[in-house]
Amino acid sequence: MLSEVTFAEIADLVRREVERGYESEKQEGRRRLLGVVDGLAADEGDDVDARAVQGRTWRVAQIEVSGIGGISRLVPSPVTFLPVRGITVIRGLNGQGKTSLARALECALSGRRDLADEVSGELWNAALLTQGSAVGTVSVGLVSGSARLDVTVDFPRDGEAGIRAALDEGSGAEPVVLGSGWQRALAAARASYSYGALQSRLVESRALQGFLEELLLLGPAWEQVRAAVSDRAERATEAKRTVENALTAGKRREREIRERISAHGVVDPPPSILWPRVQAGLDADAWLRSLDLGAESNGSVRVSGDHEQRIADIRCALIDAEARLDLAEQALDAPGIAGAAHHIEQILAIDAIDDAVCPLCGAASAWRDHAREVVAGLRDRSEAAGLVMGALTDLRDWATAELEPLLASEITGGPEAELTAFREATAQGCHARSAAHACAGPLLAAVTSQPYRDWLETMRSWSQAAVAWRDELVTITRTCADVMRENMAAAADAGVWKKAQDTLDDLQLTLRQRRQDAVTRQMHAALTRMLPDAAVELSAIRHQGTIKQQRGVDVTLTIGGQEATLGMLSSGQRNALLLTPLTVLDGAAPFGFLVVDDPVHALDDTRVDLLAQEFSRLAGERQVIVLTHDPRLEEHLRARHADLTVVELYRDPVARTVSWTRHTEPWQSLLDDAREIRKSATTDGWAYTEPLMSVVAGLCRTAVDGAIRQATITRAVQRSEDVEQALTDLADALTTGARIKLVTASAGGKTELPALERARAGHLRFWNEGAHGQLDETVDLDAVLDVTEAACRELADHDWAQG
């Protein structure tokens, strides 16, 4: 049997790889893979629905259905089953609700209505709910030991299905969530097998291959690991791609900016950006710091915003100072008088001198006032000279700070000569009436002239463009840095996760090979059992293509040693082949049941018997529920299972209710019917044209004939004889009497079947004549029924393997 690969097995395989490996990126990939597997295994352990899965072997105890498919409701409800290993046959003609019941069970366990779509597409989806029902409901009761799980699913006409489950472990029902663990187990168990669903794939070109492909899958745990690793690898690759794309976009934009700068041809381009490679350890902030993209980094000049204002201020200050100097000097009208002023001040300080008489000439005058005017004039002159020097100094400093850099730019023009003269003059000092003073005028005149303003405007426009480009570069690099910060942690792992994927691919190759061998071996054995006389051999089932580019499954068949295709099989043989995968499904917990819908298609009696044989084998390990319209399967199963349970469905086409009754054996139900008819005829009257006695006689004879037919099949099966031939021999015996003789002989004589012999001797005539309307009115019907039942029971209980 095929089992799904578990997390523990995957972890073991990866751990072995890690132990064998040496330090490398691949080894890191293996470690990461191991981490993923361990993480998923831990999550699985924490799954809230673990109680519903672990340690369970669920069997179906009951099903309630309302408003689903062809079933508006079941009567009585629910349909109950013995939750044990063995076979239950649900029989009914076409359109009685068998498939609706099977699909309802499957949809309920999964909580998915789209399963129905997978079976028959949109048509079934549209008919999932019974016409007129707003909501369909399925309740399934499962039993495992003393635990019981009730799953109820509501399928509203519009919207999602709502699934509720309650687990009772002996201390009352508790709600339980049927989550991923349940779904995984359900998918792995493939507890529902619809032949119709499989057959519907035959209309597609790949036919059987799809189903085989599912068989070859390693199970949900493997898929989960693969999905998790792929997800991480994809995320890492995507992150790396994002960073690379950001860097590429940054480079492209830098190139565009440089082309624009270059087209200007004046401003020096900023230094080239050193773009990093996407690799582990790349630090976005360190990279940003390493870039020289400061305010002056583009080598261009910048014209300050108050450039003209500063010139105007300096000029005004100089003009004011000069005007004041001129006034002071005019007032003094004697250059070089400052030295005398000192002496005058000394004299003025002598109080003993008479204020009214000049101490120098002796003339009577207000000499002190005159002397003070001289001193004040000298002081004014000195201060004015200081202001002039201050203005000149400001001019010098401004020229150094602002004008000189502008003149150093590539843009020609500007008062270079005036500045040079002024700069040389100021080297001697900035005193009033000095050379510097003399040179300041021309310079100021130049920097306030129209040509200068034009030159400055040009300068300013280039400067602004340069700043804009620099800012643009800063933005680009910062954007890249942001992308790097966000993605580098993941992007750096891209290589490692790729290696993890490689490791997973290697392991999958190994496991896949094992799986292919197992599926081929088991299906070959099953096919040989199902088609022993057809010389059909299944020599290989193989995946085609690589792991990354799988191209389906190749089935190699031979018929009589010659290579063959599926199309060369008869429809019965092909159907038998389609049923063989059933035999390689894993019957392990937690789903200890198998529901098979409508497995008999175009199978002859021999094939039906072989199918019954396979079901019997499966029933040894799980509860098998077979839904079929073909009564032959029931017969052949009964030949192997005396305690076969049969549920018969009948659907009222108007009310859409589906009634069900449980039968033990067909002859028993006939005799039960006969007794029921006899009883109801006396109370409710008799509505048929044929007399009651005739009908009872007919049912008795049919029951005996049925019991003989069943005994014939059972005998052939138990003695490993040809069932078809046995039935042909029986059909050659045209009367019930002849059949009794035949079956008595095969049992070893009349002594082996005394009850049958008693019935034959006492009632064969009644059965025959009654059935043909030639009645013996004196017959005690109850006695006939008892004797008939005893004869049938004897045939059913006889050990046909002996003799």
Partner 1 sequence: MRPAVDRRIRVLIVRRRLEEVAATLVERATGRRPAQHRVVRRRLLLLSAGVPAERWPGVHAVARQAASVYEATSAVLHSNCAFGDVPEHLVREWEAVVVRAESECPAAGA
Q: Which is nearer to partner 1, 315 or 640 (CB)?
A: 640
Query: In the bound complex, what is the minimum distance in angstroms from residue 597's beta carbon to partner 1?
Result: 17
Q: Which is nearer to partner 1, 545 or 773 (CB)?
A: 773
Exactly one of 244, 630, 729, 786 binds partner 1 (CB under 8 A); which one? Answer: 630
Exactly one of 53, 695, 726, 791 binds partner 1 (CB under 8 A); which one? Answer: 695
Convert residues 697-736 into a mask of x (bound to partner 1 by CB under 8 A) and - (unbound): -xx-xx--xx-xxx--------------------x----x
Query: In the bound complex, what is the minimum distance in angstroms from residue 673's beta carbon to partner 1?
Result: 5
Q: Which is nearer to partner 1, 83 or 666 (CB)?
A: 666
Q: How far is CA 643 from CA 65, 87, 626, in A?
A: 26, 9, 15
Q: Which helix (H) or strand (E) holds 540?
A: strand 536-545
Residue 566 found at the interface with partner 1 (CB under 8 A): no
Residue 154 found at the interface with partner 1 (CB under 8 A): no
Span interacting with partner 1, options 237-245, 550-558, 590-598, 627-635, rule CB under 8 A: 627-635
Determine the angle formed by the axes of helices 450-491 and 220-264, rounding to 10 degrees: 170
Q: Which is nearer to partner 1, 245 or 680 (CB)?
A: 680
Does a cis peptide bond (omega within 30 degrees of 0) precede residue 76?
A: yes
Exactly one of 31, 32, 91, 190 binds partner 1 (CB under 8 A); which one? Answer: 91
Q: Which is nearer to partner 1, 490 or 695 (CB)?
A: 695
- Which residue's structure tokens are 């002598």? 350
Residue 599 found at the interface with partner 1 (CB under 8 A): no
Query: In the bound complex, what is the minimum distance in angstroms from residue 650's beta carbon to partner 1?
Result: 6
Query: In the bound complex, what is the minimum distance in angstroms from residue 780's beta carbon to partner 1?
Result: 21
Residue 93 found at the interface with partner 1 (CB under 8 A): yes
What 3-state class would DSSP assign to 60?
Answer: strand
* One-letter amino acid for residue 351 of the chain: D
Exactly one of 583, 694, 714, 744 binds partner 1 (CB under 8 A); which one? Answer: 694
Q: Which is nearer to partner 1, 8 or 93 (CB)?
A: 93
The C-alpha angle with vertex 496 and arms to 230 and 286, in degrees rounded to 5, equals 120
Residue 470 found at the interface with partner 1 (CB under 8 A): no
The C-alpha angle with vertex 470 and arms to 468 and 476, in degrees rounded to 5, equals 105
Would you put residue 704 in left (φ > 0), alpha (ψ -120 to 50) or beta?
A: alpha
Beta-carbon neighbour count of residue 148 at 10 Å? 18
Do the beta carbons of residue 551 and residue 494 sit within 8 Å? no
List Cβ neighbours of 293 (8 Å cut-off, separation of 6 or more): 270, 273, 470, 473, 474, 477
Q: Which is nearer to partner 1, 325 or 730 (CB)?
A: 730
Query: In the bound complex, what is the minimum distance in angstroms from residue 796's beta carbon to partner 1?
Result: 13
Query: In the bound complex, what is the minimum distance in angstroms from residue 654's beta carbon to partner 1?
Result: 12
Convert residues 651-670 into a mask of x (bound to partner 1 by CB under 8 A) and - (unbound): ----------x----xx--x
Exactly one of 92, 495, 572, 592 binds partner 1 (CB under 8 A); which one? Answer: 92
**Among 588, 649, 643, which residue's Cα sits nearest to residue 616?**
643
Q: Tell me how far apart the alpha carbons of residues 671 and 666 are, in angstroms, rounded to a whole number.
A: 9
Strands (E), 92-196: 135-144, 147-156, 162-168, 173-175, 192-194
Residue 635 found at the interface with partner 1 (CB under 8 A): yes
Q: Tell me how far apart the alpha carbons of residues 754 and 743 are, in angstroms, rounded to a whole number.
A: 12
Q: Which is nearer to partner 1, 152 or 768 (CB)?
A: 768
First to last CA, the chain: 36
Query: In the bound complex, what is the minimum distance in angstroms from residue 732's beta carbon to partner 1?
Result: 11
Q: How many residues line the site for partner 1 (CB under 8 A)?
A: 38
What 3-state class would DSSP assign to 324?
Answer: helix
Residue 76 found at the interface with partner 1 (CB under 8 A): no
Q: Which is nearer to partner 1, 79 or 444 (CB)?
A: 79
Residue 437 found at the interface with partner 1 (CB under 8 A): no
Query: In the bound complex, what is the minimum distance in angstroms from residue 163's beta carbon to partner 1?
Result: 35
What 3-state class would DSSP assign to 206?
Answer: coil
Query: In the bound complex, what is the minimum distance in angstroms from residue 724's beta carbon to partner 1?
Result: 13
Q: Tell me how far apart the alpha carbons of residues 104 and 77 are, in angstroms, rounded to a whole number.
A: 14
Query: In the bound complex, what is the minimum distance in angstroms from residue 555's beta carbon to partner 1?
Result: 33
Q: Which is nearer to partner 1, 160 or 690 (CB)?
A: 690
Query: In the bound complex, what is the minimum distance in angstroms from residue 729's beta carbon to partner 1?
Result: 12
Residue 772 found at the interface with partner 1 (CB under 8 A): yes
Q: Tell me how far apart the alpha carbons of residues 687 and 152 are, in angstroms, rounded to a whole number.
A: 44
Query: In the bound complex, what is the minimum distance in angstroms from residue 717's beta carbon to partner 1?
Result: 14
Q: How far is CA 72 from CA 45, 78, 114, 625, 747, in A?
A: 40, 13, 20, 22, 48
Q: String of b and e for 660-686 (b: at least 16 CB within 10 Å)?
A: beebebbbbbbbbebbebbeebeeeee
- Which residue's structure tokens are 């690898």? 233
Residue 771 found at the interface with partner 1 (CB under 8 A): yes
Query: In the bound complex, what is the minimum distance in angstroms from residue 794's beta carbon to partner 1?
Result: 17
State the alpha helices, DSSP H only, in 355-449: 367-398, 404-407, 416-426, 435-447
Q: Is the dihedral of CA 60, 65, 69, 70 positive or negative?
A: positive
Span interacting with partner 1, options 89-97, 163-171, 231-239, 352-360, rule CB under 8 A: 89-97
Residue 70 found at the interface with partner 1 (CB under 8 A): no
**Among 111, 103, 102, 100, which residue's Cα sits nearest to residue 161?**
111
Residue 169 found at the interface with partner 1 (CB under 8 A): no
What's CA 91's distance to the chain center, in Å? Answer: 40
Q: Which helix (H) or strand (E) holds 23?
A: none
Query: In the bound complex, what is the minimum distance in angstroms from residue 716's beta carbon to partner 1?
Result: 14
Binding site for partner 1 (CB under 8 A): 91-93, 630-632, 634-635, 648, 650, 661, 666-667, 670, 673, 676-677, 680, 688-690, 694-695, 698-699, 701-702, 705-706, 708-710, 731, 736, 771-774
